[in-house]
Structure 1
């Protein structure tokens, strides 16, 4: 059904399409920000649409594998959302708004970032890491010959209410490539870069958001990603920072936000791949003319569900024990 939603003063009223589930509502476009799709899955109980399979937020059901050693991702009851401030766009005044907790999830994976932790391989391991293929039917559609080349993967996340950003850190994203080489595009790897891709969001100082990408090392990819506003650059040793400042993670402090990744693979021999990031249903980063693969055996493989502070040096480390929560994992085959 359509529901009239009044925005804060200074913004226009809008209509938002909601999916109803009992007395609860949630905008399905936050997790599935495409007009149509062929099939998919979700762990979100609030989404009830045709062709979407409901599965539990559990490792076996979601094809979790290659779990990073010395880390874990316990399934917990996350804390309630908190009050947050709204800024009047005309006057600049701050007002306190109570968050609507009606769509708060009942379960979530918890990431712990201990004080002094910088990444899972550091002296003090922090966060967690694993790969997620999705339920068997979804995973099969991705990996079979001639399989899906256009996919959306999404989730919701929340940071603890007194979160401290420091210099930055990584969050879960999407990956793919040729066979086991698809796991090679991370951690500064330079080999096999034409046989894999890895795209993860990253928070920077003060909550600035960006995409941190590993794509085939081609001039065309560098040029097109470098053109993404407001700021993008090729890092000398690691991945490429894309669209830094295009969005902020501030809203995730004490509240749930959705992140959705849309990847459309290029045709072999063509520069026509597409990459798009949606935050709360809004497209914030969009790049076209990309090359994700140079072989038909390269596939979208699923989610690289990794998060940590860093960076690889101590000045990136979490200044205290901090926690984040992740839930409502969703995937859809678009084409």
Structure 2
């Protein structure tokens, strides 16, 4: 039974048949190719950390479902009453970028395909309001890879950013910023059950493909895979899993138009919003994030 649990956790955090190398902050994930890393900013290569919010390392509350192998350390996100996106008057959640421990980050510079994942839990009485963002994966050309979100239009061909998002009533989706090409728009907006192109912002991909009610008082695993396109080809791929189940998948994409376009790591950001007071958290709420994992497939 113990071995089955280990294999299950591996398939949730790294849902791939094979990988070259990986790291994880999970103390329960044991594999010859996985290097254990402490849940620590410096050791994870965290940078561009938001100065308006905190992500304190805490012992998370016990899972209400009493599942085994629950994390014993987590980053705690606090969303004060009235908090909104990072530019709002009341900051909430937290935000940073990370590319993994040094050896992994070095190999990531030449990687064509990678998976990044984490486990998350929301407080039991979480209120969804209209929606909010959860961590994901990002990349691009040098420093242009950063700040790809928030309605950015300039040099969008040199960055990409894929984050999970919750909507009202716990509907889940992938919120995607990719180079602004008609091919990308056509492919992403064709993903079921519903995908919407938001003027001047990203594309809501696969809205309703998963339900985040299961994260209320319970650990849920979110994983993302990106396979970069070959230059001058629309053959890139993205995929998203929830608890080891593939919920969103799309191919025929372009993530880059030059060889310096790279997979950079994780955009580890979470907040309520959207824009406008109708998106704000109605009370102080908390979420926990742990078992941060990265794997290079090729």
CA distance in 2, matches of 1:72, 1:27: 28
- Select 1:41's aligned residue among 23, 32, 50: 23
- 1:275 Cα shift? 0.2
Question: Which of 58, 62, 72 is equivalent to 2:54?
Answer: 72
Aligned twin of 2:148: 185
Structure 2 SS opposite 1:139: helix
Match of 1:207 in 2: 170
Taking a change above 3 Å as real, the CA distance of residues 272 and 72 of structure 1, as seen in their structure-2 partners, is same
| SS of equivalent residue, structure 1 residue 111 | strand
In the other structure, the counterpart of 1:106 is 72
| Aligned residue number for residue 6 of structure 1 | none
2:204 is the alignment partner of 1:217: no
Alignment map for 1:87-166 (pairs within 5 Å): 99-143=65-109, 147-166=110-129
TM-score by length of 2: 0.98
1:58-69 correspondence to structure 2 within 5 Å: 58-69=40-51
Taking only aligned residues, the RMSD between alpha carbons, in angstroms, comes to 1.2
Deviations 1:242-270 (A, max 9, x none): 00000010100110000000100000011
User: Residue 227 of structure 1 is aligned with which of 177, 187, 190?
Assistant: 190
Matched residues in 1 for 2:138 and 2:156: separation? 12
1:19 equivalenced with 2:1 (yes/no): no
Distance in 1 of aligned mates of 2:57 and 2:217: 18
Secondary structure of the corresponding residue to residue 283 of structure 1 = strand
Q: Which runs of 5+ in 1 are unaligned?
A: 4-16, 21-25, 83-98
TM-score by structure 1 length?
0.87
Distance 1:103 1:134 in 2: 22
- 1:269 maps to 2:235: no
1:56 aligns with 2:43: no
The aligned counterpart of 2:280 is: 317
- 8 Å contact kept, 1:127–1:308: yes
Deviations for 1:179-214, whole angstroms, at most 9, x for unmatched residues?
Answer: 000003111101110000000010000000000000
Match of 1:96 in 2: none
Asked if the contact 1:175/1:304 (under 8 Å) is kept, the reply is: yes
* Deviation, structure 1 residue 100: 3.0
1 CA distance for matches of 2:248 and 2:103? 29
Query: Runs of at least 4 residues of structure 1 off by over 4 A?
Result: none
Matches of 2:204 and 2:228, distance apart in 1: 20
1:227-250 deviation line (CA, Å, top 9, x unaligned): 100000110121000000000101
